[in-house]
């Protein structure tokens, strides 16, 4: 398996396209949230201890879709680099 | 299916954190031995793709939505251990940066979505792949394992909620499995489509190439 730079860019572009697709994501509650409403335990939920980019929406006053785009791209970048960092660290540890 | 803070009691939080730390520690050890230089960027790309895919909630019946988990997709391309680590990193970023899933419930989410969702689903995928054989085995194995990864995560989540005294297992388990059976079907379709595409254009990207 040979992972070329072109493959990495293609994968990341596809991820960004998914972020754009998320503009049209359903606003309905997800499966667990729906069950928590139906079975009356939603009120047990505590607010998050810390908030950085809540709900994938970049903070500040801007167009909502743009805020989701920036939030999503920030997430993709953080996930990509943190996973690569973990991978490189594991490689070095083994060597 | 990210569990927020407040749903699980202290005992369940402690238990799931312990199991997750042990499980991810084992995966880190196993991955370090098998990791090749060229696998590292693939781990990054697959993780970033799964993160973005989880942002796309699609509507299902009963004013409910769902999103794909990507566990089987990661497992089929990265193997069980690297896939579990990738999903774990996605969950940590979602929790710490995007407040998707509670910080105290991170152990439970890693157990349900990473260790079971990616790690265990790999073995289901491999068993079906070996039984059927060929490309058909890969596609059908990935599809069924994808569906089962969502159902197993829903089942584990139900057990954790029941143990926390949220609701009786006989009430919560059918509700969770029912709604996630539909989300799992979407997961299966997405996994089949992506794995079929990978098989066509880059079969060498699979963990165990044809």
pLDDT over threshold 90, residue A90: no
Instruction: Say if A30 is an interface residue toward chain B (CB within 8 Å).
Output: yes
pLDDT over threshold 70, residue B41: yes
User: Nearest Cβ partner of B52 from A15, A30, A54?
Assistant: A15
As given in the structure block, the two tokens for residue B205 are 């990207």
pLDDT at B61: 85
* Alpha-carbon span A65 to A81, nearest angstrom: 24
As given in the structure block, the two tokens for residue B150 are 């969502």
pLDDT, tens digit (0-9, with 9 covering 90-100), for B101-143: 999 999 999 999 999 999 889 999 999 999 998 999 999 999 9
Instruction: Say if A58 is an interface residue toward chain B (CB within 8 Å).
Output: no
Residue B57 CB-half CA count within 13 A: 18
Neighbours of B133 (CB within 10 A): 11
pLDDT over threshold 60, residue A15: yes
Mean pLDDT of chain A: 91
Q: In this predicted model, which residue has the larger pLDDT, B111 or A62?
A: B111
The CA-to-CA distance between both ends of chain B, in Å, stands at 33
pLDDT at B119: 87
ipTM of the complex: 0.93
* Alpha-carbon span A19 to B89, nearest angstrom: 18
* Alpha-carbon span B164 to B167, nearest angstrom: 8
Contact call for B65 and A12, based on CB within 8 A: no
Residues A43-72, mean pLDDT to the nearest whole number: 91
pTM of the model: 0.94
Q: What are phi and psi of B59, to 5 degrees?
A: -75, 140
pLDDT, tens digit (0-9, with 9 covering 90-100), for B144-203: 999 999 999 999 999 999 999 999 999 999 999 999 999 999 999 999 999 999 999 989
pLDDT at A11: 93
**What angle (nearest 5°) sits at the alpha carbon of residue B71, between those of residues B69 and B74?**
125
Tell me the Ramachandran region of residue A26: left when phi exceeds 0, alpha when psi lies from -120 to 50, beta otherwise: beta
Nearest CA in chain A to B92: A79
């Amino acid at each position: 398996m040979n992972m070329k730079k072109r493959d990495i860019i293609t994968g990341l572009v596809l991820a960004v396209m998914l972020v754009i697709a998320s503009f049209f994501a359903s606003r309905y509650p997800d499966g667990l949230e729906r069950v928590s409403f139906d079975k009356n335990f939603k009120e047990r939920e505590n607010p998050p201890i810390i908030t950085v980019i809540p709900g994938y929406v970049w903070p500040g006053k801007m167009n909502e879709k743009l805020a989701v785009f920036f939030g999503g791209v920030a997430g993709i970048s953080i996930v990509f680099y943190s996973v690569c960092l973990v991978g490189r660290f594991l490689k070095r540890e083994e060597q | 299916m990210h569990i927020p803070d407040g749903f699980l009691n202290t005992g369940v939080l402690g238990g799931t954190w312990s199991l997750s730390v042990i499980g991810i520690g084992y995966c880190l050890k196993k991955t370090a031995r098998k990791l090749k230089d060229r696998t590292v960027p693939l781990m990054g790309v697959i993780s970033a793709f799964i993160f973005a895919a989880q942002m796309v909630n699609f509507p299902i019946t009963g004013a409910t939505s769902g999103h794909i988990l990507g566990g089987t997709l990661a497992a089929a391309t990265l193997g069980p251990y690297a896939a579990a680590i990738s999903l774990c990193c996605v969950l940590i970023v979602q929790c710490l940066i995007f407040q998707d899933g509670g910080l105290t419930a991170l152990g439970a989410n890693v157990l349900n979505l990473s260790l079971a969702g990616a790690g265990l689903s790999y073995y289901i995928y491999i068993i079906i792949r070996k039984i059927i054989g060929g490309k058909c085995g890969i596609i059908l194995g990935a599809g069924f394992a994808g569906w089962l990864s969502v159902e197993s995560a829903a089942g584990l989540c139900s057990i954790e909620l029941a143990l926390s005294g949220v609701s009786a297992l006989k009430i919560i388990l059918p509700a969770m499995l029912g709604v996630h059976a539909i989300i799992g079907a979407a997961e299966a379709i997405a996994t089949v489509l992506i794995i079929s595409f990978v098989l066509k254009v880059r079969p060498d990207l699979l963990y165990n190439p044809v």
